[in-house]
Amino acid sequence: MNLPAASVMETPAANAALLEVRSIEKRFGRREVLKRLSLNIGAGEFLTMLGESGSGKTTLLRLIAGFEQPTSGEIWMAGERLDTLPPYKRRVNTVFQNYALFPHLSVQENVAYGLRVGKISKTELAERVTAALQMVKMLEYAAARPAKLSGGQQQRVALARALINRPKLLLLDEPLSALDANLRKQMQGELKSLQRQLGITFLFVTHDQEEAMALSDRIALLKAGVLEQIASPREIYSRPVTAYTAEFIGQTNLLHAELRDGVAVCGALRWRPNLSTPIAPLKNGPVLFSLRPEAIMFASSTLPADSARFRAKIHQQLYGGATEMLELDCGAGQLLRARIPARAALTGEYDFAFLPSDAIPVREGA
């Protein structure tokens, strides 16, 4: 492995940090769930914590909400220590995965719940409840009981209930995972525009990388309790730092190449990579590259001279509507995936090519 172990490449938040997670460690018994994790969330940003189950993303969320205590480390919000406060004193609200609506209260009583804690006049309470319900388009269900609502409707009520308290930070624990695909897409759009409209900082947890990319200003990818990479969706897709990131977000071909005198060789592929990388210059020896399937195209004369060309047989063709995924057999067991615009069925051998700048060097692990 050529790239020296260095700090995670981070795109900083656009605004001043609202929430600072400082070296948080969390252990359950002997199991270490979060390992000295630090990150900042900017005011007004939509940050998504992405990862598999067991990555620690939900645990971190619960730490910020106050339902768990860190084993060590601190959490600060708006210049004040947060983790020493009990959950009911934090200006943080949560939208729970299964909504956690109070079954014995009506929709409007649910939404008004947090307001009743403080001293607030009846008229103001009624006004704010109405406004909140209108915002999520659930006003006509104000008197209904949660049991009578569908999943999507319950989710909106949970959202209104959390937002009415005007929290500084809204935590969303996989709120869309219980919805079916179409409803999910619709709610994604609504959440995004709601966040823009209100300007509240959202911390969103999901395991669905497409969802993360669609919604977020930045994505924080967690793996086994460690922050793998934190960057904007475009950044994290086009410049993944590790192989894990490259594979988790989108699809990729991982090329175990050998670099010698400026030329990278991997099976049937040869090309001249850019030797200076954002982290450190590439040196001779084994280097791991990430090549996205859409970067591979049919070879043609219009391509620049330094394109890497290779010949491969079409092993499989997976039709996908707008595009197709080709499995290419480059010989000696080397298989690559290429995404091309859909065309008629193909067989036989063809010439393919890719731009060297599309082969991104990545580390094995963080």
Q: Is 192 near other proteins (CB under 8 A)?
A: no
Whole-angstrom distance, CA of residue 131 vs CA of residue 136: 9
Q: What is the C-alpha R_g of the chain?
A: 24
Neighbours of 285 (CB within 10 A): 11
Q: Is 152 near other proteins (CB under 8 A)?
A: no
Residue whose CB is less far from other proteins, 31 or 122: 31
Residue whose CB is less far from other proteins, 184 or 207: 207
Q: Is 76 near other proteins (CB under 8 A)?
A: no
**How many residues bind to other proteins according to rule CB under 8 A?**
36
Mark the segment that binds other proteins (CB under 8 A) among 159-167, 211-219, 261-269, 299-307. 159-167
Q: Is 319 near other proteins (CB under 8 A)?
A: no
Q: Which amino acid belongs to residue 10?
A: E
Whole-angstrom distance, CA of residue 209 vs CA of residue 187: 16
Neighbours of 250 (CB within 10 A): 18
Nearest approach in angstroms of CB 90 to other proteins is 8
Residue whose CB is less far from other proteins, 151 or 356: 151
Residue of 42, 44, 66, 240 that binds other proteins (CB under 8 A): 66
Residue of 78, 100, 183, 355 that binds other proteins (CB under 8 A): 100
Enclosing H/E stretch for 286: strand 285-291
- CB neighbour class for 284 (10 Å; exposed up to 12, middle 13-18, buried from 19): exposed
Q: Which amino acid belongs to residue 178?
A: A
Restricted to residues 45-64, the positions that interact with other proteins (CB under 8 A) are 53-54, 58-59, 62
Q: φ and ψ at 254, to 5 degrees?
A: -95, 120
Mark the segment that binds other proteins (CB under 8 A) among 158-166, 289-297, 307-315, 343-351. 158-166
Residue whose CB is less far from other proteins, 18 or 330: 18
With the C-alpha atoms ordered 244, 246, 249, 250, is the resulting torsion angle positive or negative? negative
Smallest CA-to-CA distance from 192 within 214, 168, 225 is with 214
Nearest approach in angstroms of CB 162 to other proteins is 8
Q: Which amino acid belongs to residue 165?
A: N
Q: Which amino acid belongs to residue 346?
A: L
Nearest approach in angstroms of CB 265 to other proteins is 43
- Looking at the DSSP assignment, which residues form a beta bridge with residue 27? 32
**Residue length, the chain?**
366
Residue whose CB is less far from other proteins, 48 or 93: 93
Whole-angstrom distance, CA of residue 148 vs CA of residue 161: 17
Residue of 3, 19, 41, 65 that binds other proteins (CB under 8 A): 65
Nearest approach in angstroms of CB 290 to other proteins is 29
Mark the segment that binds other proteins (CB under 8 A) among 94-102, 220-228, 262-270, 293-301. 94-102
Mark the segment that binds other proteins (CB under 8 A) among 65-73, 227-235, 252-260, 279-287. 65-73
Whole-angstrom distance, CA of residue 100 vs CA of residue 226: 29
Return residues touching other proteins (CB under 8 A): 26, 28, 33, 53-54, 58-59, 62, 65-69, 86-89, 92-94, 96, 98, 100-104, 113-114, 117-118, 145, 147, 161-162, 165
